[in-house]
């Protein structure tokens, strides 16, 4: 009886194997076949894309629900991430500084006020706020007047010692020093408008009244720190509109050159200034004058003494809001300020080196092996930064559990969204139905480098983390076309 039962059991097992698994097996084969087709298509595209010939493409795709790799191509090769580096800096800033972190700017005095006269010095102390506008200096000046000061007998001094005095990250090219994306990093700086390109001014050039005349220009905001040499000529209607500028190294002498036709629209040039601390101090001086406050002493740069008293203060927007212009518009200065702020808050020194130490110590918690990366700055402007595509997608998947994740994702550019502070650097890309407003990702561009990493909602309802790192391109603009094609394939085929 026992042997019969064993035989019957074996027969039932065989029957189960013959009939029940076929449907499951068939479903698995179908899913595998579909994924194989997609993988084959993507492999073929990468193999045959003429603009990838001689280049290096690191590509990684993960299912965010379980971190499983769905696709990889040279995904463990360390490559230059360009501004995809901001994905790491912003996340660690949210993690360690917090969403509500702000940057105060204060006004202090070291003397007494008698009959509306300050017998002493007035100090402007910064702590890294990259969003200070001309109007914010005006508001501080109003507080100074409200404190009962109409005349300052001493100096107007700037204190930028919250960070160190190293103004550029180690690999910033000399040719980028006067560009808005290469602005100097100071704990006391100013921005010309609500894009918050800290440390820069805007020169808006307009045609003269007649051909042959010099063009006119407006400086935004007005500051005595910059000296402009205007060599732009007005040419007849239909002529060439081409304007460029050069700021002499170590100075704020800016030379404008080129031509602008009659009746042409204005041309805006963003110029990064030398020593943004003095730029901010000049705006404060002008704001005090506008309030009718007389300054008798000179402008200086020195630290607030311990005996000083605070009389005015301005608080920046919280980090959760600051990340929007930083990530949407890929603001390098914001990223480097966050890097130094991490160094200051965690290591008690606001330097590039200490900030990088913080990144290297914290990133392993999210799957990035610091021993397998090379990190040189917070913004990605260095061509020596090296991170692999697989590390990016693992990082992007692992941070989903954090309480600040929704803030992080909200700050990423949204594909095809036309509003500038929504679509950001992706507002004119990926506009087809399968990808429109379904991709949130960080762009990156350097000479010969184009990158795109982030998240996509596919037509099948999955959310994927992807990283596309393209290096050694002849034309980095072609890299964007390749990225968009790959992302479109992810959206439609998975």
Confidence band of 259 (pLDDT split at 50, 70, 90): very high
Task: Work out the average pLDDT over 256-269.
Answer: 96
Contact 97, 408 (CB under 8 A): no
Task: Work out the average pLDDT over 461-469.
Answer: 96
% of the chain surpassing 90 pLDDT:
90
Task: Work out the average pLDDT over 456-463.
Answer: 92
Q: Give the separation between CA 276 and CA 82, rounded to whole angstroms.
A: 25
pLDDT over 80 at 144, yes or no: yes
For the stretch 160-201, pLDDT in tens is 999 999 999 999 999 999 999 999 999 999 999 999 999 999
Q: How many Cβ atoms are within 10 Å of 342's Cβ, its own excluded?
A: 25
CA distances from 100 to 45, 60, 327, 404 (A): 44, 33, 17, 10
Confidence band of 35 (pLDDT split at 50, 70, 90): low
pLDDT recorded at residue 40? 84
Confidence band of 18 (pLDDT split at 50, 70, 90): very low
pLDDT over 70 at 211, yes or no: yes
**Residue 21 or residue 359, greater confidence:** 359
Q: Give the separation between CA 158 and CA 152, rounded to whole angstroms.
A: 15
Q: Give the separation between CA 482 and CA 494, rounded to whole angstroms.
A: 18
pLDDT over 60 at 6, yes or no: no
377: nearest Cα among 342, 412, 346, 411: 342
Q: Give the separation between CA 97 and CA 320, rounded to whole angstroms.
A: 10
Residue 430 has φ and ψ, to the nearest 5°, of 55, 50
For the stretch 264-311, pLDDT in tens is 999 999 999 999 999 999 999 999 999 999 999 999 999 999 999 999
Structural domains in the chain, sorted by start: 34-100+319-493 (3.40.710.10), 104-166+276-315 (3.50.80.20), 200-272 (no CATH)
Q: Give the separation between CA 311 and CA 193, rounded to whole angstroms.
A: 26
Task: Work out the average pLDDT over 134-142.
Answer: 98
Dump the DSSP string for 395-454. HHHHGGGSTTHHHHHHHS-BTT--SHHHHGGGTTS--STTTTTTEEEEEEEETTEEEEEE
226's CB contacts (< 8 A; 6+ apart) are 201, 219, 252, 254, 271, 273
369: nearest Cα among 390, 349, 384, 350: 390
For the stretch 365-394, pLDDT in tens is 999 999 999 999 999 999 999 999 999 999
pLDDT over 90 at 460, yes or no: no
Confidence band of 4 (pLDDT split at 50, 70, 90): very low
Judge if the upstream peptide bond of residue 227 is cis by omega within 30 degrees of 0: no
Token pair for 23: 């449907």
227: nearest Cα among 200, 258, 254, 256: 254
Task: Work out the average pLDDT over 126-155.
Answer: 98
Contact 318, 94 (CB under 8 A): no
Token pair for 347: 């290591």
Task: Work out the average pLDDT over 353-371.
Answer: 96
Q: Give the separation between CA 293 and CA 286, rounded to whole angstroms.
A: 10
Token pair for 133: 């506008």
Confidence band of 492 (pLDDT split at 50, 70, 90): confident
Question: Which helix (DSSP H) or strand (DSSP E) does residue 261 occupy?
Answer: strand 253-261
Q: Give the separation between CA 154 and CA 206, rounded to whole angstroms.
A: 40
Confidence band of 28 (pLDDT split at 50, 70, 90): very low
Q: Give the separation between CA 472 and CA 450, rounded to whole angstroms.
A: 9
Task: Work out the average pLDDT over 17-43.
Answer: 49
- For the chain, count helices (H), then strands (E): 11, 20
Confidence band of 60 (pLDDT split at 50, 70, 90): very high
Q: Give the separation between CA 341 and CA 344, rounded to whole angstroms.
A: 5
Confidence band of 406 (pLDDT split at 50, 70, 90): very high
Mean per-residue pLDDT over the chain, rounded: 92
Dump the DSSP string for 271-303. EEPS-HHHHHHHHHHHHHHHTT-EE-S-EEE-P
Reading across the β-sheet that carries 267-272, which strands appear in turn?
A: 216-220, 200-206, 267-272
pLDDT recorded at residue 38? 73
Q: Give the separation between CA 403 and CA 409, rounded to whole angstroms.
A: 12
- CA-based torsion, 352, 356, 357, 359: positive or negative: positive
Question: Under DSSP, is residue 228 helix (H, G, I), strand (E, B) or coil?
Answer: strand
So which residues are the catalytic ones? 83, 86, 330
pLDDT recorded at residue 111? 92
């Amino acid at each position: 009886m026992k042997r019969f039962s064993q035989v019957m059991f074996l027969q039932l097992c065989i029957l189960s194997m013959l009939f029940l698994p076929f449907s499951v097996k068939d479903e698995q084969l179908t899913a595998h076949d579909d994924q194989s087709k997609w993988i084959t298509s993507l492999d073929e595209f990468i193999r045959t894309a003429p603009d990838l010939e001689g280049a290096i493409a690191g590509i990684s795709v993960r299912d965010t629900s379980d971190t499983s790799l769905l696709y990889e191509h040279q995904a463990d090769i360390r490559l230059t991430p360009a501004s995809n580096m901001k994905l790491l800096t912003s996340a660690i800033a949210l993690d360690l500084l917090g969403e509500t972190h702000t940057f105060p700017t204060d006004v202090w005095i070291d003397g007494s006020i008698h009959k509306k006269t300050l017998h002493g010095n007035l100090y402007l102390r910064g702590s890294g706020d990259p969003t200070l506008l001309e109007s914010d200096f005006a508001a501080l000046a109003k507080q100074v007047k409200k404190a009962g000061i109409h005349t300052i007998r001493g100096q107007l001094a700037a204190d930028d010692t919250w960070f160190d005095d190293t103004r550029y990250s180690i690999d910033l090219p000399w040719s980028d020093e006067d560009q808005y994306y290469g602005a100097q990093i100071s704990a006391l700086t100013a921005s010309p408008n609500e894009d918050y390109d800290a440390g820069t001014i805007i020169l808006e050039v307009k045609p003269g009244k007649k051909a042959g005349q010099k063009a006119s220009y407006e400086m935004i905001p007005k500051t005595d720190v910059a000296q402009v040499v205007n060599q732009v000529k007005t040419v007849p209607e239909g002529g060439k509109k081409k304007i460029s500028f050069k700021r002499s190294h170590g100075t704020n002498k800016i030379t404008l050159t080129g031509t602008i036709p009659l009746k042409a629209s204005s041309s805006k040039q963003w110029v990064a200034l030398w020593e943004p601390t003095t730029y901010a101090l000049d705006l404060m001086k002008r704001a005090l004058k506008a309030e009718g406050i007389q300054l008798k002493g000179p402008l200086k740069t020195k630290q607030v003494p311990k005996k000083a008293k605070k009389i005015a203060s301005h608080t920046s927007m919280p980090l959760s809001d600051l990340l929007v212009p930083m990530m949407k518009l890929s603001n390098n200065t914001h990223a480097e300020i966050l890097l130094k702020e991490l160094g200051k808050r965690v290591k008690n020194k606001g330097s590039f080196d200490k900030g990088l130490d913080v990144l290297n110590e914290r990133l392993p918690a999210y799957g990035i092996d610091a021993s397998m990366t090379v990190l040189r700055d917070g913004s990605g402007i260095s061509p020596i930064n090296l991170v692999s595509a697989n590390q990016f997608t693992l990082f992007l998947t692992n941070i989903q559990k954090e309480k600040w994740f929704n803030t992080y994702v909200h700050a990423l550019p949204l594909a095809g969204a036309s509003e500038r502070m929504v679509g950001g650097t992706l507002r004119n890309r990926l506009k087809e139905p399968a990808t429109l407003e379904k991709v949130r990702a960080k762009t990156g561009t350097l000479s010969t480098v184009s990158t795109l990493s982030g998240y996509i909602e596919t037509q099948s309802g999955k959310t994927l983390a992807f990283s596309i790192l393209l290096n050694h391109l002849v034309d980095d603009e072609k890299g964007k076309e390749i990225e968009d094609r790959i992302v479109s394939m992810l959206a439609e085929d998975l």
